[in-house]
């Protein structure tokens, strides 16, 4: 009897192993497959960060605009409507944009909305709305905080400001030493692409020729782009030494050049690709 039990016990254990194996799902029996995840559900659309068409403005919208010389001459109150975290703007009262409409006692005063300089579309819309609410003397400062506090002839612009300003139609681009593949990734096409060895006189001549062919809009600036921070640095240093004349249209220079702009676009593209994307779903869902 004991011999029979010793003989049958391995068979029983073997049967239990076979039965337990057959009870497992198919994916668990295959060591190469760690999980079963669906990839056939709809994926969110990823926006393209590249060339874009700037929006145009109506005559009614442009009537909201004022340059810094006119704003200072008119007097009134300058309202710094930027985010509260930024440094205070001398000579301006900090007030969140949504709170302006609540200050009814300001309706009869000349008001100048001072933004970042690359939020023209949003502030123009706010200006029209405020005028309908009785703020008949409200205007938007072209160039924003940079224009209000400008002390030099060249504005330094971040990649984010370059992108946002392009959407508002603020920039006209001029490249210095850019390669064709670098031009393709820009938010707009440079009207002129000069060699990196360009001198001051040739740059000024190129800008004058371009403005004769197409006058610069009242809300526009020339934005100069170089391949990187080092390239064009000597030209930038000379331009910054040029005495600034109040009311003159300053040039804008993309800080970090194309390299920093390209890094910003890649970061935005990656963020957009993952924003709102659901986690992988199991095959049974």
Question: Domain limits of the chain?
Answer: 58-149, 150-270
pLDDT at 273: 74
Checking if the pLDDT of 2 tops 90, the result is no
Checking if the pLDDT of 283 tops 50, the result is no
Tell me the whole-structure pTM to 2 decimals: 0.72
- pLDDT, the chain, mean: 80
Same fold, 58-149 and 150-270: yes
Mean pLDDT, residues 130-135 taken together: 97
For the chain, strand residue ranges (E) read 37-38, 65-66, 77-80, 93-94, 111-114, 138-141, 154-157, 171-176, 192-194, 221-225, 251-254, 281-282
In words, the CATH class of domain 150-270 is alpha beta
pLDDT at 278: 52
Mean pLDDT, residues 146-169 taken together: 89
Domain topology for 58-149:
Oxidized Rhodanese; domain 1 (3.40.250)
Q: Please write the tens of the pLDDT for every residue from 226-260.
A: 999 888 888 888 888 887 777 678 899 999 999 99
Checking if the pLDDT of 162 tops 50, the result is yes
What the block records as the tokens of 110 is 């000349």
* Distance between CA atoms of residues 4 and 14, nearest Å: 16
Looking at mean pLDDT, say which of 10-14, 198-202, 224-228, 239-243 comes out highest: 224-228
């Amino acid at each position: 009897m004991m011999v029979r039990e010793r003989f049958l016990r391995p068979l029983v254990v073997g049967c239990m192993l076979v039965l337990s194996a057959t009870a497992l799902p198919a994916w668990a029996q295959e060591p190469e497959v760690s999980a079963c995840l669906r990839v056939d559900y709809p994926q969110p659309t990823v926006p393209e960060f590249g060339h874009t068409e700037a929006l145009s403005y109506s005559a009614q919208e442009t009537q909201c605009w004022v340059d810094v010389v006119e704003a200072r001459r008119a007097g009134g109150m300058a309202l710094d409507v930027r985010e509260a975290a930024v440094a205070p703007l001398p000579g301006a009262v900090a007030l969140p944009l949504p709170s302006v409409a609540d200050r009814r006692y300001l309706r009869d005063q000349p008001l100048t909305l001072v933004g970042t300089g690359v939020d023209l579309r949003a502030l123009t819309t706010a200006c029209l709305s405020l005028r309908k609410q009785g703020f008949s003397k409200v205007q938007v400062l072209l160039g924003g905080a940079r224009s209000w506090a400008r002390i030099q002839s060249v504005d330094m612009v971040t990649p984010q400001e370059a992108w946002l300003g392009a959407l508002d139609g603020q920039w006209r681009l001029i490249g210095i030493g850019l390669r064709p593949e670098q031009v393709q990734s820009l938010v707009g096409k440079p009207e002129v692409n000069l060699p990196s060895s360009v001198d001051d006189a040739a740059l000024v001549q190129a800008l004058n020729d371009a403005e004769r062919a197409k006058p610069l809009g009242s809300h526009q600036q020339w934005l100069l782009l170089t391949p990187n921070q080092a390239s064009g640095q000597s030209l930038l240093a000379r331009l910054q030494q040029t005495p600034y004349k109040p009311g003159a249209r300053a040039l804008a220079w993309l800080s970090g050049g194309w390299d920093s702009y390209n890094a910003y676009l890649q970061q935005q593209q990656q963020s957009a690709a993952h924003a709102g994307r659901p986690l992988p779903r199991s095959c049974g869902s």
